[in-house]
């Protein structure tokens, strides 16, 4: 199957995907996977070497179960290779659209796609938006980073659609002081608002102080950071509207999106194959936590096959209880490198520390950040609820139960935790070992 045939199949699946049976979706994934692996082996030097070294021929990949025979690809490896080793020889590199990952785990990775791939993946994202209530005439505003588009991405389709007054969108800079961001949002009057959870929460806090504002979006969509329970509460309380979670990245655009009836995350199964992998390499069962490994079924310009995304999630059910055929993610817990190495060879995922904080004092914490500065020293930075700040000794004791007696915990109260250069607020950071930026 050619790349053109595969992409036409993708366009059809955007409409058909939610109405497929799980068996039909499995068959769709299997067909796309076989075509993608054959294409990558024939035209991408990196994947040809990877498969040949593993003794795997494209003909051996006939079912989803066969996918595990392909070694996992690390982001650091792709970053280290020249572009001609990771781009398909069938396409002119100068005609591929480039975007960069945020680089929150180190140096950014340049992602390259054909124009048709870029727009196909955008359609999957728009389908997710519509599933939670986006209407064609809504004004959609992002509180995010203002980026310069690649000149190869002409935006012809989007510009034509918006010229008709449909799917209008704009961006308010997340780096603005919250008061200025709120003023701009009030001028624009979005029907739907989306952005980083931390940025949305800062504006939501102002709305508590200014309840007379006429800023009332119908719903909000949060992404690019972990949507913690405290942030969700703050955003919904400030805006008086529901917040839905979207899990995406530059490499695949949409990975999963929140199901409105159930609250779990629908994996975008007709555009990709998502594996949740345990430390020993086995697939996670429902309720188990593991790392995310993704294969993009329509990434032909620069394929991503069994690509470790660097996130930790909890595996959900094979099909959502809402009746959709999509598999689910139960919880997005954070980056894989947010595992704090501890004295004596122990380790703890920072999200576990966050859960303990919420259990002990969640109603007294607006925002928090855990930074491991040394093997034996963790700093907890907190933006407290002004009326009832948490007891630092209580927090130190709660974290100490997980970190152990050899780790010192410092608690620092802050007026705000501003975003970093990517526009995101990192809630967990380890400055030792592989977790240091």
Query: What's residue 436's pLDDT?
Result: 33
Mean pLDDT of residues grouped by 10 in the chain (437 residues)? 64 88 95 96 98 96 91 91 95 89 62 93 94 94 76 59 74 87 93 91 86 86 86 91 94 95 95 94 93 96 95 93 95 75 84 81 84 94 88 93 94 86 75 53
Whether 256 maps to a domain, the answer reads no
Structure tokens, 138: 């809504």
Query: What's residue 396's pLDDT?
Result: 94
The total of structural domains in the chain comes to 1
Which one-letter DSSP state was computed for residue 363?
G
On the CB side of 20, how many CA atoms lie within 13 Å of its CA?
Answer: 21
Q: How far apart are CA 71 and CA 68, in angstroms?
A: 7
Query: What's residue 164's pLDDT?
Result: 64
Query: What's residue 393's pLDDT?
Result: 94
Residue range(s) defining the domain that contains residue 430:
339-435
Whether 359 maps to a domain, the answer reads yes
Q: How far apart are CA 227 and CA 107, in angstroms?
A: 24
Whether 372 maps to a domain, the answer reads yes
Q: How far apart are CA 244 and CA 227, in angstroms?
A: 9
Among residues 271, 247, 251, 250, which one has the least CA distance to residue 259?
A: 247
CB 380 within 8 A of CB 399: yes
CB 360 within 8 A of CB 394: yes
Whether 67 maps to a domain, the answer reads no
pTM, to two decimals: 0.80
Whether 355 maps to a domain, the answer reads yes
Whether 404 maps to a domain, the answer reads yes
Whether 138 maps to a domain, the answer reads no
E runs forming strands in 278-427 = 289-296, 307-315, 328-335, 339-341, 347-349, 365-374, 377-384, 408-413
Query: What's residue 6's pLDDT?
Result: 65
Structure tokens, 346: 């122990």
What is the distance in angstroms between the CA of the first residue and the CA of the last residue of the chain?
Answer: 41
Query: What's residue 102's pLDDT?
Result: 58
Q: How far apart are CA 140 and CA 118, in angstroms?
A: 20
Query: What's residue 252's pLDDT?
Result: 94
Whether 378 maps to a domain, the answer reads yes
Give the CATH number, domain containing residue 378.
Answer: 3.30.300.30
CB 232 within 8 A of CB 252: no
Query: What's residue 434's pLDDT?
Result: 44
Q: How far apart are CA 188 and CA 211, in angstroms?
A: 18
Query: What's residue 209's pLDDT?
Result: 77
Which one-letter DSSP state was computed for residue 350?
H
């Amino acid at each position: 199957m050619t790349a053109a045939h595969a992409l036409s199949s993708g366009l059809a699946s955007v409409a058909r995907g939610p109405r497929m049976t799980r068996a039909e979706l499995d068959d769709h994934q299997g067909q796309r996977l076989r075509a993608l692996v054959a294409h990558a082996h024939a035209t991408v030097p990196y994947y040809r070497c990877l498969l040949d070294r593993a003794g795997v021929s494209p003909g051996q990949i006939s079912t989803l179960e066969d996918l595990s025979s392909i070694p996992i690809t690390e982001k650091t490896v792709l970053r280290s290779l020249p572009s001609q080793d990771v781009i398909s020889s069938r396409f002119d590199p100068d005609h591929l659209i480039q975007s960069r990952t945020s680089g929150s785990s180190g140096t950014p990775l340049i992602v390259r796609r054909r124009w048709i791939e870029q727009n196909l993946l955008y359609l999957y994202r728009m389908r997710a938006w519509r599933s939670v209530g986006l209407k064609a005439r809504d004004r959609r505003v992002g509180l995010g980073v203002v980026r310069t588009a690649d000149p190869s991405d002409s935006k012809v389709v989007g510009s034509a659609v918006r010229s008709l007054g449909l799917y209008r969108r704009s961006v308010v800079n997340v780096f603005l002081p919250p008061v200025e961001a709120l003023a701009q949002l009030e001028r624009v009057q979005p029907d739907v608002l989306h952005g980083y959870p931390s940025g949305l929460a800062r504006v939501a806090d102002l709305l508590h102080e200014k309840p007379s504002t006429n800023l009332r979006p119908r719903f909000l969509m949060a992404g690019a950071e972990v949507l913690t329970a405290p942030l969700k509460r703050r955003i919904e309380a400030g805006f008086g509207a529901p917040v839905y979670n979207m899990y995406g990245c530059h490499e695949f655009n949409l990975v999963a999106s929140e199901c409105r009836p159930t609250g779990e995350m629908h994996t975008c199964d007709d555009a990709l194959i998502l594996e949740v992998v345990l430390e020993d390499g086995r697939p996670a069962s429902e309720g188990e936590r593991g790392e995310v490994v993704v294969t993009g079924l329509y990434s032909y310009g620069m394929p991503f096959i069994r690509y470790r995304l660097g996130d930790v999630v909890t595996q959900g059910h094979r099909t959502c209880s809402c009746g959709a055929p999509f598999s689910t993610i139960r919880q997005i817990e954070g980056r894989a490198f947010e595992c704090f190495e501890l004295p004596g060879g122990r380790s703890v995922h920072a999200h576990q520390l966050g859960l303990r904080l919420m259990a002990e004092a969640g109603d007294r914490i607006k925002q928090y950040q855990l930074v491991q500065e040394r093997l034996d020293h963790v700093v907890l930075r907190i933006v407290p609820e002004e009326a009832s700040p948490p007891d630092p000794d209580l927090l130190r004791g709660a974290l100490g139960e997980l970190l152990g007696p050899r780790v010192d915990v410092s608690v620092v109260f802050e007026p705000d935790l501003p975003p970093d250069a990517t526009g995101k607020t990192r809630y967990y950071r380890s400055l030792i070992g592989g977790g240091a930026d």
